[in-house]
Amino acid sequence: MYDAQTRNHRTLRVGILALEDTMLAGMATVCDSLRVAGKLAEIRDPLHAPRFETQVLNARGATKVRTANGLELGGLATVPDQLDLILVPGILHDSPQDLLRRIAGSGPEIELLRALHLRGVRLAASCSGTLLLAATGLLNGRRATTSWWLAAAFRHAYPHVRLEADEMLVEDGEFFTTGAASSIQSLVLRLVGEVGGPALAQQTARLLLIDPERQSQAPYVSAALMERPRNSMSEKAEQFLQKELHHELTVTRLAEHCGTSERSLLRHFQQHYGQSPLAHIQHMRVERAKAMLETTHLSLDEIVERCGYSDVSSFRKLFKRATTITPADYRERFRLRRA
């Protein structure tokens, strides 16, 4: 039986799971990038070049599927006997609830992923496909990431997965998960380096203009686009914090406003936000600062004051810890410019 012990370490065989409404870029990026890596490897060492093979597969025996942009993708293969890794790409959806409904009807795909895992095939997922991988139960107790705007829905649906939503790529044993569409390039470079060495991965990154240093989704997070928990306590807390964010805030004061105990408030925030109330307040202050850095000419001192801080140095450290870049770098990268 083919398993992890019998892999040819100079050949990487990748299967891509084709689903209805799959994001075409999630499949094409992997296929094209690995093909480029293979061509570069042949140029560098024609006799001993590693091989990168990709196949687009279907769990239901279909020979074609309709992708998210309406194009039909044909020539789908059945699962081969030899496979090193299978990838679940992103699925177009109207809302997190719509995505979860689609996943609930993905029994054949879930069973295929479980069966391949038993064969020793590594499992990977990108963007919204990470929720389908989580639905197998195989990520329980493991670290994973997803697209940042799906973090709340992911945590609620799969509370036993250790979600690290700021990470671009998370590897835990035989499992890989990535954030949104472009972050799949981080996985490609990881796999190219594993089979062909770091020099080949570096050359592939240069040719495809991939930034291998991009490790975090944090700078790209937009609070306006994030799915928020929908219940009375969360809404009451959010409204209060938005109104009072520029003032000194304590957990005691927030609990009193929400009409609950500090212990219940802490439990609620951990369940719905994956963080403590104080950490959430800091997150909201960073988000407010990001919005002002993008859209105003206010000085950092003025922004810090409007975010409820008096110590600019402390807030600068908090901002960098949350976004991985300084406020000045964030403003330069994301500020709205006149045409």
Q: How do residues 134-145 score in pLDDT, each as one tens digit?
A: 999 999 999 999
CB 288 within 8 A of CB 302: no
Choose the final residue of a domain: 172, 195, 220.
Answer: 220
The per-residue pLDDT for 1 is: 37
For residues 28 and 81, membership in a common domain is answered with yes
pLDDT averaged over every residue in the chain: 88
What whole-number percentage of the chain has pLDDT above 90?
56
For residues 14 and 144, membership in a common domain is answered with yes
pLDDT digits (tens, 9 = 90+) for 302-321: 999 999 988 999 999 999 98
8 has a pLDDT exceeding 70: no
335 has a pLDDT exceeding 90: no
Q: Is residue 89 part of a domain?
A: yes
pLDDT digits (tens, 9 = 90+) for 192-232: 999 999 999 999 999 988 887 777 776 766 655 555 556 67
Here the CATH number for the domain that contains residue 261 is 1.10.10.60
Choose the final residue of a domain: 220, 255, 276.
Answer: 220
For residues 103 and 189, membership in a common domain is answered with yes
334 has a pLDDT exceeding 90: no
- Determine the structural domain holding residue 216 and report its residue range: 4-220
78 has a pLDDT exceeding 90: no
Residue 213 neighbours by CB distance under 10 Å: 6
CB 92 within 8 A of CB 129: no
Half-sphere exposure of 321 (CA within 13 A, CB side): 10
For residues 179 and 296, membership in a common domain is answered with no
For residues 197 and 237, membership in a common domain is answered with no
The per-residue pLDDT for 274 is: 79
4 has a pLDDT exceeding 60: no
Mean per-residue pLDDT, 27-38:
93
For residues 95 and 151, membership in a common domain is answered with yes
**Element housing 33 (H / E):** helix 24-44
Tell me the whole-structure pTM to 2 decimals: 0.71
Residue in the block written with tokens 């009375």:
232
What whole-number percentage of the chain has pLDDT above 70?
92
By three-state DSSP, how is residue 176 classified?
A: strand
The per-residue pLDDT for 222 is: 62
The per-residue pLDDT for 154 is: 93
Q: Is residue 339 part of a domain?
A: no
Q: Which pLDDT band, with edges at 50, 70 and 90, does 242 fall under? A: confident
